[in-house]
Every structure is written in C-alpha cells, then in structure tokens.
C-alpha cells in the first residue's frame, strides 16, 4: 500500500474528438465575450474615427452606404464568434500535441499556459510592433507591405515560443531549479522580442495631423482588450471543460 501511495497517479489524456468539442464550445463562449466587448467598447472607440473619415468627404463620393452600420455590427459579432470557434479548433490541435510538455498539474493550468503564449504571440507582440489603427489611418497602397510585416511579426512570435519551449525543456531535463529555468526563459523571451521589434520594419503608414492621438490610442487599446478578452475566456472555459473531461477519463 505504501508503494501505491508513493507512486504518482498515471493520468490518461482525453481523446481528441471530445477534446476538440470542448475547445469548440469554449471558442464559442470566447467569441460571444469578444463580440460583446467589440459592441460595448471597440465600437465607441471606432466611432470618432468613422466620423473623422466622413468629415474628410470620403463618404460623399459613394453616396449612402450599401450596408447599414447596425447590419455591419451584427455581421461583425457573428463573424467574431465563428472566427473564435475556428481558432479554438486550431488551439485544440496544438494542445493535443503539446499537452504532456506544458507545465501544470491540471488541464486548467496547462490550457492557461498555452492560451497565455497564444495571446503573447498573436496579440501582444503585434500590438507592440505594429499596433492596430482606426479607419481614418492607413494608406490603401501599403496593404501588401503591412500584411507582410504582420506575417513576419507572427512568424517571429512563433519562433520565439518554440525556442523558449526548447530551452525550458532542455534545462528541466538537466535538473536545474525551476527558478533558474524561469529566469532563463524570461531573458530569452525579452531578447527575442527586442530583436523582433528592432529588426522587423516599422509600419509604413504615418498618422495624419488631423487624427487626434486619443482617437488612435483608444482604438488600439480597445482592440488589444478585445483580443485579451477572447484569449482569457478561451483559456478559462477550455481549461474548465477539458479538466472535467480528463477527470472523467
């Protein structure tokens, strides 16, 4: 009996199909939360930019809008939910492959770690290097350049996550103290993020003098907040659902 008490309990990983379903459900919840943030917060931040764009006279050339603003908001909300579900399926596939490598004693902690990394790679790093701009800012001729820069930033973020993960795995295998492992991971992350910010080209668009700084930063913070709500909700909901699934397994 003593040997049985001393030996660690072998945890059974949940099957992929139920795991995928739990993440998809969590993605729907995250999409609703993110869409609600967009309606209540981001829309208020984007309204001054739309008014400024209309005041410039851009809307008079095309007459009345083909789609009303209310219809656009409903479509945006539904699109946010669908996008969150699709993205959660991708996160589920990644989680199934790296679950045994993630720190944490429960799936709540493991999912939280993965979604925190996802937020850093797909939201925080792009916000640092190439923050979102409201409709009144941006040159249509630079769309291709901006897209290439954005993809480069995402690629650098993914590489950063992989390199830090490899470093942590190597140091843990050598038996280093957890505090030393954490310090090394933080230092490498800071170095790689700094390299990304310095080496990747900047946004080629300049902010026009008639666009108030408050309009730009309100929109940027609202956009980052919307992504934070989505990732946080996804982490909490998926962690809870997957942990319950693993316990039943």
127-149 residue pLDDT tens:
999 998 888 777 778 889 999 99
| pLDDT tier for residue 58 given thresholds of 50, 70 and 90 | low
Task: Say if residue 83 is in the same domain as residue 167.
Answer: no
Please tell me whether residues 122 and 237 are part of one structural domain. yes
- d(Cα 103, Cα 110) in Å, to the nearest integer? 6
217 shares its domain with 112: yes
Domain assignment present for residue 4? The answer is no
Contact residues for 157 (Cβ-Cβ < 8 A; gap 6+): 120, 121, 122, 125, 126, 196
The pLDDT of residue 62 is 46
Kindly state the percentage of the chain with pLDDT values over 70: 90
- Residues 219, 127 share a domain: yes
Question: Tell me, what's the pLDDT at 57?
Answer: 65
In sequence order, which ranges of 99-212 are alpha helices (DSSP H)? 107-119, 125-129, 143-173, 178-199
Do 123 and 143 have their domain in common?
A: no
pLDDT at 3 over 50: no
Q: What pLDDT does residue 9 have? A: 46
Which phi-psi region, left, alpha or beta, contains residue 57 (left: φ > 0; alpha: ψ -120 to 50)? left
Task: For residues 192 and 160, give the distance between their C-alpha atoms in angstroms, rounded to a whole number.
Answer: 6
Assigned domain for 57 exists: yes
Can you tell me the distance from the alpha carbon of 238 to that of 244, in angstroms, rounded to the nearest whole number? 10
Answer positive or negative: Cα dihedral of 144, 146, 151, 156.
Answer: positive
* 44 in any annotated domain: yes
pLDDT (mean) for 32-54: 90
Counting the structural domains of the chain, the total is 2
pLDDT the model gives residue 232: 97
Do 214 and 202 lie in one domain? The reply is no
Residues ≥6 apart with Cβ < 8 Å to 114: 91, 94, 95, 98, 102, 235
**Which pLDDT belongs to residue 65?**
60
Could you tell me the pLDDT band of residue 6, with boundaries at 50, 70 and 90? Answer: very low
126 and 191, same domain (yes or no): no
Q: Is residue 94 situated within a structural domain?
A: yes
**CA separation for the pair 148, 155 (Å, rounded):** 10
Task: Report the candidate in 83, 89, 85 with the shortest Cα–Cα distance to residue 16.
Answer: 89
CA distance 158 to 125: 10
**Residue 95: inside a domain:** yes
Whether residue 169 is found in the same domain as residue 238 = no
Q: In terms of domains, do 154 and 121 share one?
A: no
Residue with tokens 């170095």: 191
Q: What is the pLDDT of residues 182-214, one digit of tens each?
A: 999 999 999 999 999 999 999 888 887 778 889
* pLDDT tens-digit map of 63-112: 456 667 788 889 999 999 999 999 999 999 999 999 988 888 899 999 99
* Structural domain includes residue 132: yes
97 lies in some domain: yes
Residue 24 shares a structural domain with residue 147: no
Average pLDDT over residues 37-42: 94
Same domain (yes/no): 86, 119: yes
Contact 23, 238 (CB under 8 A): yes
Rounded to an integer, what distance in angstroms lies between the CA atom of residue 221 and that of residue 238?
25
pLDDT over 80 (residue 119): yes
More confident residue, 69 or 35: 35
pLDDT of residue 227: 96
Residue 114 maps to a domain = yes
Helix (H, G, I), strand (E, B) or coil at 166: helix
In this predicted structure, the answer to whether residue 55 has a pLDDT above a threshold of 80 is: no
Domain containing residue 93 = 14-136+208-249
pTM confidence score = 0.84
Please check whether residues 75 and 196 belong to one and the same domain.
Answer: no
């Amino acid at each position: 009996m003593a040997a049985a008490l001393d030996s660690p309990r072998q945890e059974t990983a949940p099957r992929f199909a139920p795991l995928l379903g739990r993440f998809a459900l969590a993605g729907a919840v995250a999409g609703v939360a993110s869409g609600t943030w967009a309606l209540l917060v981001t829309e208020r931040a984007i309204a001054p930019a739309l008014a400024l764009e209309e005041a410039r006279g851009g809307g008079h050339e095309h007459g009345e809008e083909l789609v009303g603003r209310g219809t656009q908001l409903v479509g945006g909300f539904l699109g946010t939910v669908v996008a969150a579900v699709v993205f959660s399926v991708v996160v589920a596939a990644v989680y199934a492959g790296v679950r045994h490598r993630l720190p944490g004693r429960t799936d709540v902690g493991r999912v939280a770690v993965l979604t925190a990394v996802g937020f850093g790679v797909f939201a925080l790093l792009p916000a640092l290097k190439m923050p979102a701009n409201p409709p009144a800012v941006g040159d249509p001729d630079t769309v291709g350049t901006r897209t290439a820069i954005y993809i480069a930033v995402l690629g650098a973020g993914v590489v950063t996550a992989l390199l830090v993960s490899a470093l942590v795995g190597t140091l843990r295998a050598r038996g280093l103290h957890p505090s030393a492992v954490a310090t090394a991971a933080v230092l490498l992350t800071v170095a790689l993020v700094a390299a990304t910010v310095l080496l990747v080209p900047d946004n080629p668009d300049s902010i026009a003098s008639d666009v108030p700084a408050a309009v730009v930063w309100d929109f940027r913070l609202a956009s980052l907040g919307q992504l934070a709500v989505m990732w946080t909700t996804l982490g909490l909901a998926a962690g809870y659902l997957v942990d319950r699934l693993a316990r039943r397994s």
